[in-house]
Structure 1
């Protein structure tokens, strides 16, 4: 039996690309001090397997015992899904369109996958695992409010919250878990580091803590997370968001002028529909990459992210060349 596999963007086994519009990570990272810390991480010694100092730092004024480090978002999704299954939950509600690993983790454990397109469709009967991605990948959508899902194991994936360019985040549902993955916001997706914050030290928390592999974070991951809540990183993120707003506006204007349909988004990435269905493949031949959204159930659409002016100029030249090929 072939293992189930999620489809992702990024490296595809082909030649390197000059400009990657498929990634939803910030093109501006990493912050200098954070990057210096990652590079200086002590690779010759084990980190503290309990990550006590790091958990106290990430907890702030909260309970450090409720902070559980993860090897990035994907490992956190797998671990929390397993904890939910061991807790007797047999359904996983996942956003559709949404990140494929939510459903994949549930399917691997035999949980029934229940897709939902809006908060109004969230109506689990039996105790279930409910995934919320806020803001949502791949759409960049955000909602005004989430319903009270009492009795459900609700996990809010906040990987893209630091890349929210417009609006405010809705309040967390009561009793929700949080999954925090800073590496996209600081442009270090190769450093697999994140953490979950549990609402209480209950049975699911106990399972999630015990299911972590030993030394789930590398020395580089500890360094990244240690600098994540610093004032310097927060100031850098504010400046990065301002820059990305300008780049997103100019890129949207350019694509609109080339006949692309684009959906609204509050993030640095959004869904767009090019004039022709094979645009992702054609752009790849020009050394550019966009994220084909067919695997999200959105045939004909692509996900693009805001990139610097030189990348936008290269995209425009490629689109003009492709239009010329059609004549």
Structure 2
């Protein structure tokens, strides 16, 4: 039986949402210079299939050899490829955060690997060689690690860092040197339609050759190459500083507004967080009004939703809709 497709936020088959609080991508991006480069990408020719210049540029930015940089067609393709690599190199379990992004488990189930959910990294105790996923900061909670799991060399540790550029407070924990890292800039840049990211392999990792062999030809489009080429530009870094400041302000205002309407909200270091409305049908009622939030039932959290910080006009629309729903039912 084919494993079910994981549920995602964003498009749901209905009319476009006027105000989308379900996405965890930045509503601010992209920075002008990077956007211009993406729009001007040469679509008439194949990119370099080895992505030599791009890999050297990314490697230099991370202080790594180019050979340790593996371009991916977005985070999901990177997750699938590393999961296949884990299988090919003798791993038989995949440990995934719960709640967490559904693609980790879906990739493992598609290959017949045993999925082991965990609530805390201290719960990770593989009995057989395993692939262990850490999302730092975590989606959907927006929380950050306090300690890394202790794992032997027979295990493959993979850290999904898609939301690190959106960290609004606190310091990022230093990633262990033996860990693989998945970097996906498109969420921070507000360019989720450009499917491009990259894996960083640990030094001398035996899985590197397998991960390289599993890459499809021309895994990145011309637009993806352009986006990643300018990801580490000084102009992009400066723009991200301002974007985080704006998202921080919007997050504070939005949390205050929801608090006045009796929503329970969890702490987060990102511009998205888990919230529990005072009524269980709120996601459906808001959707009828052109407002989308991310129902967290598929994360194993019925009654909760994930919301992201949005501009003030969207916050005003959300507040008005919630007040209307309350008045209709009073």
The TM-score range, normalised by the shorter chain, is over 0.9
The answer to whether the 8 Å contact 1:150/1:174 transfers is: no
1:146-185 alignment runs, 5 A limit: 146-151=148-153, 152-185=155-188
- 1:233 alignment partner in structure 2: 236
- 1:198 alignment partner in structure 2: 201
- Matches of 1:53 and 1:4 in 2, distance apart? 38
Deviation, 1:176, is 0.2
- Matches of 1:174 and 1:150 in 2, distance apart? 13
The answer to whether the 8 Å contact 1:98/1:136 transfers is: yes
Deviation, 1:147, is 2.7
State the TM-score, normalizing by the size of structure 1: 0.99
Pairing partner for 1:293 from 290, 296, 308: 296
- 2:227 alignment partner in structure 1: 224
1:223-244 alpha-carbon deviations (Å, 9 max, x no partner): 0000000110001001100000
1:225-280 alpha-carbon deviations (Å, 9 max, x no partner): 00000110001001100000000000000000001000000001000000100100
Deviation, 1:148, is 3.0
The answer to whether the 8 Å contact 1:149/1:174 transfers is: no
The answer to whether the 8 Å contact 1:260/1:274 transfers is: yes
1:81-121 alpha-carbon deviations (Å, 9 max, x no partner): 00000111000000000000000100111111011111110
- Matches of 1:2 and 1:173 in 2, distance apart? 35
- The two structures, once aligned, show a CA RMSD in angstroms of 0.9
- Matches of 2:66 and 2:118 in 1, distance apart? 33
The answer to whether the 8 Å contact 2:54/2:229 transfers is: yes
The answer to whether the 8 Å contact 1:149/1:173 transfers is: no
State the TM-score, normalizing by the size of structure 2: 0.98
Give yes or no for the alignment of 1:117 onto 2:128. no
- Matches of 2:164 and 2:147 in 1, distance apart? 15
The answer to whether the 8 Å contact 2:2/2:110 transfers is: no
- Matches of 1:202 and 1:255 in 2, distance apart? 47
- 1:33 alignment partner in structure 2: 33
- 2:135 alignment partner in structure 1: 133
Q: What secondary structure is seen at the aligned counterpart in 2 of 1:184? A: helix
**What 5-or-longer segments of structure 2 have no aligned partner?**
none
- 2:248 alignment partner in structure 1: 245
Q: What secondary structure is seen at the aligned counterpart in 1 of 2:252? A: helix
**What 5-or-longer segments of structure 1 have no aligned partner?**
none
How many matched pairs? 327
The answer to whether the 8 Å contact 1:146/1:171 transfers is: no
Deviation, 1:3, is 4.5
Q: What secondary structure is seen at the aligned counterpart in 1 of 2:247? A: helix
- 1:21 alignment partner in structure 2: 21
Runs of 4+ in 1 over 4 A off after TM superposition: none
- 1:64 alignment partner in structure 2: 66
- Matches of 2:189 and 2:51 in 1, distance apart? 21
